[in-house]
Structure 1
């Protein structure tokens, strides 16, 4: 079979392409089709680990789950993870390829990547009924178009019908649509079969005249106007982080204050998301030391360059401030690079993090990290070993360079993993914890346990420990998003666009 293809492109970054793709993946799956997400090249700080130990963009992992299929590296064959200024780690089919400057990538690698991308396309086309492709940024960046392998070149390669998504919240929506179309070649513009206006707030009737003008001016139908919706689906990139696109931003005072440091090279920041679902918990993103205050829980997230971010912590005054908070009793939790930062020393004998020099960490955990050339990428399960959390089974994933060893017999590991290894460390009677386990807080019973410990510490009553699982929450979010999008767009027209005249040929699930 050759899969029908629908591609979602945007007038700019962060207009909602990932969410729209996720919705379409679930809609097509609900209608009985075997659907697969695809993004040829992704640049993201949040990644997803496949069951065979590959690393892809988190959005494609989310979309695969919404489509009810197992995520593979074919769904995102090229992943770029920013590591330093103008330097990114290039990941090919889930594995580290090399670190490259933006210039080298654009001039030397992009065309070499096309056979890799096409191989993935052909495999997916043969295995699925429908491909839902996601573009990157805008297809109309004229200074980049000759090396753009994420937008119209993919539409041509898959014979995809393209829907152009515009974000009405940004202002200038009509100009952005007209400008984008004007900068496309004739063959590219011919692929744009519909327009979606996203994130609408207000009275629908106020847009009617504008929509009528837009359709007359472009000859392209507006398939729908999607009202803004708050839905608990993970954000993909640093733009979402910098605009504070968390689940539901907290306002005012809350009994439990959770702060996360916004490291310059932060990665997998969605680890903190579950705290937004905890009652009476405020979550803050801290960029400057003056904003730090005295939180009940301080989270130090992952980073793409631990040693450089360690130096930043020292230069900005965070290092000494964190050490003072530990002395005052603040609970501190480091994940992946954050775990490494909490240690005594970081050694870089192979210069994988910089110039090869060692660095002194925050010294809140008696551990040393040695960076090596091999990257650990794996989904994992395990259980806590400290009496602080009883014995709780946990699932998550590891993505890291380096091996961390405990140097103090009195310090206990945080977890015992299913493969026999120990992970992490706990010190100061459980006040300071480090782990390599990404997704740790998605284990909702564990997170509630932590919140209750913080509540008891402040003289508050603990919350009910019986809570909805993360899998149940995600499933509800996918269905909510899909139903919302289906309600506000012309799905019958979408089916005809991609060459499926009716849903009747598929057996509903």
Structure 2
């Protein structure tokens, strides 16, 4: 086998990421050498590869689904929003500058297209199949001229396209038809068909609509994937706990001890890598919720201040909402607080930022003896160390460099009383360390909570990825998908003119 496929969507969050991961896991189980690819990703949830490149977390999880090591080739362009109008551009895993949306789409697209096509060709030369994920919708006609992630890359690689639609939102048939109808004839040639996602109920009731859709478009539906609670991979931009989770509060397995442990995560602006708390949500008896009001911290046993792309902005937000005062009261009372990356920085004494916010010197919350200076160069690393007597692995993504002036060492940060701070994302995925940390939190919070002795976070991730592979294998026409990957889109697919469904 040698080929590929582009998974597009009718909208953002239609299910492109999970379908791509599911196809990667299904092909990997068949013995096919497969790699994921997303030419351009916009996300504040990122990951550091072993070679020190920053890519979207979704692509890192898709690589895990494919059972291959993640690489910058799999996500050559990453956009990290800093405001509604500008983003940091990360090219081949390294930041190259801040750019407005108008500036980004204004003149660099041919060079970027050449880069992403080159990356895709390298992957095609290494793997039997490459499963590409689009972004948003391919029918965003205002952006088609500068598109490098949807039909732009499909046209360049001559990859067939399957469009995913979320039927749980409603309007999926109109979305499928409208997506195809808004494309040019050359783009429509590559759209092979559709995949329905998140269907609840009896599939036979859907079949008449699928038959009509085929009559209207000349394109088939490759499967109907059922709705599954708590099934997903690391989010790109949704505020959701990925494992055993829901939007605001995680679903909790029965605790091992007498008490549950309540974790409140401050939903700071430009929150990044909030997937750090997934490992907490995976623990039986741990309740994780995202909060934005001071009163929501009152009953929390642990408050997490997560990473953020806007450290100074997050600091202002915490003060405006009274959360800063609530955190100070917790620290004075010896009640647990954990700051991670940007959240660690705001807990310190002072921030000097002439890079990210250009705000100059700003007072932090003063809960940790730390002073932070922002550097133009970004730290991208995969550190290994120990804390609380246990082995810990993590990854670092930050411009701020911390000068720790006191306290008890804690990873690369420090601890004072029940307040901890570190730059290490992913540290809570180290099972033994997480259990020791939660034991310390429970003791400080006065809870009779006992961490489960056998919760393995990596095993839970593998279980999720296997479930995604099962979803594809059991509910999609895998023979037809294999033919698409091997031979491309069928010839003779009809052109659908906008507004003319016949």
The TM-score normalised by the length of structure 2 is 0.91
Of 315, 319, 336, 2:341 maps to 336
Q: Report matched runs for 1:52-451 at 5 Å.
A: 52-231=51-230, 233-238=232-237, 240-241=238-239, 247-249=244-246, 250=249, 255-348=260-353, 351-384=354-387, 389=388, 391-408=389-406, 411-415=407-411, 423-428=412-417, 431-451=418-438
CA contact (8 A) 1:295 1:330 kept: no
Task: Tell me whether 313-322 or 490-499 shows the greater mean CA deviation.
Answer: 313-322
Gaps of 5+ in 2: 253-258, 489-502
Q: Partners of 2:451 and 2:96 in 1: how far apart?
A: 46
- The one-character-per-residue Cα deviations of 1:252-273 (angstroms, maximum 9, x if unpaired) are 9973210001111111110011
CA contact (8 A) 2:235 2:242 kept: no
Is the partner of 2:35 in helix, strand or coil? strand
The TM-score normalised by the length of structure 1 is 0.90
Q: Partners of 1:465 and 1:297 in 2: how far apart?
A: 18
Q: Partners of 2:66 and 2:216 in 1: how far apart?
A: 35
C-alpha displacement at 1:326, in angstroms? Answer: 1.9
Task: Tell me whether 471-480 or 148-157 shows the greater mean CA deviation.
Answer: 471-480
C-alpha displacement at 1:462, in angstroms? Answer: 4.5
Task: Tell me whether 101-110 or 36-45 shows the greater mean CA deviation.
Answer: 101-110
CA contact (8 A) 2:38 2:133 kept: yes
C-alpha displacement at 1:498, in angstroms? Answer: 2.1
C-alpha displacement at 1:158, in angstroms? Answer: 1.4
Q: Partners of 1:288 and 1:377 in 2: how far apart?
A: 32
C-alpha displacement at 1:245, in angstroms? Answer: 6.4
C-alpha displacement at 1:457, in angstroms? Answer: 4.6
C-alpha displacement at 1:471, in angstroms? Answer: 2.2
Q: Partners of 1:35 and 1:234 in 2: how far apart?
A: 18
Is the partner of 2:206 in helix, strand or coil? helix
Q: Report matched runs for 1:13-52 at 5 Å.
A: 13-52=12-51
Q: Partners of 1:90 and 1:489 in 2: how far apart?
A: 36
Gaps of 5+ in 1: 416-422, 502-509
Is the partner of 1:36 in helix, strand or coil? strand
- The one-character-per-residue Cα deviations of 1:67-106 (angstroms, maximum 9, x if unpaired) are 1111111111110001123111000000010011111111
Q: Partners of 2:358 and 2:439 in 1: how far apart?
A: 43
Is the partner of 1:282 in helix, strand or coil? strand
CA contact (8 A) 1:278 1:448 kept: no
C-alpha displacement at 1:12, in angstroms? Answer: 0.3
Is the partner of 1:320 in helix, strand or coil? helix
Question: 1 or 2 for the larger relative contact order (CA 8 Å, sep ≥6)?
Answer: 2
C-alpha displacement at 1:234, in angstroms? Answer: 3.4
What is the Cα-based RMSD across aligned positions, in Å? 2.0
C-alpha displacement at 1:207, in angstroms? Answer: 1.0
CA contact (8 A) 2:393 2:430 kept: yes
C-alpha displacement at 1:405, in angstroms? Answer: 1.3
Number of residue-to-residue matches in the alignment:
480
Of 461, 477, 481, 2:464 maps to 477
Is the partner of 2:316 in helix, strand or coil? helix
C-alpha displacement at 1:141, in angstroms? Answer: 0.7
